[in-house]
Amino acid sequence: MKYVDEFRDGERARGLARALHAEADPGRHYRLMEFCGGHTHAVFRYGVPDLLPDNIELIHGPGCPVCVLPIGRLDMAIRLVEKHPEVILASYGDMLRVPGSGRRTLLQARADGADVRMVYSVSDALALARANPERQMVFFGIGFETTTPPTALGILEARRSGLENFSVFCNHVLTPAAMGAILDVPETSAETVDIDGFIGPSHVSVIIGSGAYRFCADAHHKPVVIAGFEPLDVLQSLLMLVRQLNEGRAEVENQYIRAVTPTGNERAQAIVDDVFTLRDSFEWRGLGQIPHSALGLSPDYAEFDAERRFDMAYVAAEGTKGCECPAVLRGAKKPVDCKLFATACTPENPLGSCMVSDEGACAAYFTYGRFRQDALERQQAQRQAHREAREQ
């Protein structure tokens, strides 16, 4: 297939759904985590849950970089622009609306006079630094492995062109470390989330390659299938996972062969390795402190480190009382399990990061699933009644 509409073909989708119904063992329950928030939105946008057998459950993972950033890191950015009027802070749009301590956001800081600007890329931030040589330009670097290489290239360009007023507040995090943290929780812990396999992220895997997930299969005996973002991609990947589980296999398979290779983009990896270094530990919202799960600037590029330049200090902070974002990000709860969801917490008035971001699970439920919830519950009740009738 070559065209987008071919990956959204209804008849092919129904064929994959029939195969899932035929091959899913009715005697077992399949709990499959789509790590990436982009997959969560694709799942609900195209109604994938409606096509699945009742015993295939999709668990939503922490693959939303805006969502997993702890409140303390956001507070650092807010304090920076409030204490240093000479600073222009450039950020991707989602980050501006995430509530920090006391539900204060970067947008509110901007309304109070701080110079906070939305950009679409690190190139925009470099342009702002060139246009404002008398000001300090700080780029709020955030994201998984997909957005890390552009930030690294921005730092290399700043050095090449002698931009001394440019620095990066680095919050780039690593996907395999988060997957490992989810799987490493002891079975006796209350934090344990029972997962049978992973739908592996798409864009991240383009950079790091499919081989980066070998530990899931080898050390934890959990299959991983890297999937594209289209509905047929997701359905085919689910079928591949079900087949692995039925056969007792745990392998890393690549459904997204049109973009992902075993080794990934090695040139991008080399640039990242040059500019960044592993942090000893980093706090994730919902997952706590995870060793070697995030990047900071290497000593060779320390002059571009905003944390060093402005002596920024991290202080842990609590989220909004009653917000279940941490549990949603672990896969322990679904958005509808939160009492604030679609009542006090909406996209217009988000109380948690999962309702803000375009990749957040709560935003996906609200946008694509909230008004179908009653219908889904009725459908599930009807299926249960049919099963009970057959058993009698």
- C-alpha distance from residue 57 to each of 93, 150, 168, 340, 345 (Å): 32, 35, 40, 23, 25
Q: How many other CB atoms are there within 10 angstroms of residue 233's CB atom?
A: 22
Mean residue pLDDT across the chain = 92
- In order of 83, 273, 331, the CA distances from 32 in angstroms are 45, 32, 10
Q: Assess whether pLDDT exceeds 50 at residue 375.
A: no
Q: How far apart are CA 316 and CA 279, in angstroms?
A: 17
pLDDT score at 358: 80
Look at residue 378 in the predicted model and tell me its pLDDT.
Answer: 52
Q: Which of 147, 149, 142 is nearest to 73 (CA)?
A: 142
Let me know: does 264 contact 214? Beta carbons within 8 Å.
no
Give the pLDDT of residue 370.
55
Condensed to tens digits (0 to 9), the pLDDT of residues 151-204 reads 999 999 999 999 999 999 999 999 999 999 999 976 655 567 899 999 999 999
| Lowest model confidence (mean pLDDT) among 119-123, 362-366, 383-387 | 383-387
- The encoded tokens of residue 323 equal 């917000």
Mean pLDDT comparison of 93-107, 172-186, 239-253, highest-scoring range: 239-253
Closest CA to 357 of 61, 68, 42: 68
pLDDT > 80? residue 391? no
Alpha-carbon gap, residue 100 to 289, rounded angstroms: 19
Query: What percentage of the chain has pLDDT greater than the value 90?
Result: 81
Q: pLDDT for 267-322, tens place per residue?
A: 999 999 999 999 999 999 999 999 999 999 999 999 999 999 999 999 999 888 99
Q: What is the DSSP letter of 332?
A: S
pLDDT of 36 reads 92
Q: Kindly give, in sequence order, each residue whose CB lies less than 8 Å from that of residue 179, ignoring residues fewer than 6 positions away.
A: 35, 198, 213, 216
Q: What is the pLDDT of residues 40-73, one digit of tens each?
A: 999 999 999 999 999 999 999 998 999 999 999 9
CATH class, domain 1-392, is alpha beta
Q: State the average pLDDT over residues 132-157.
A: 97
Q: Indicate the pLDDT class of residue 142, thresholds 50, 70 and 90.
A: very high
Cβ neighbourhood burial of 266 (10 Å; 0-12, 13-18, 19+): exposed
What local confidence, expressed as pLDDT, does residue 5 receive?
79
Closest CA to 135 of 125, 148, 144, 145: 125
**What are the C-alpha distances in Å from 316 to residues 65, 100, 282?**
18, 11, 11
CB 154 within 8 A of CB 126: yes
Domain ranges for the chain: 1-392
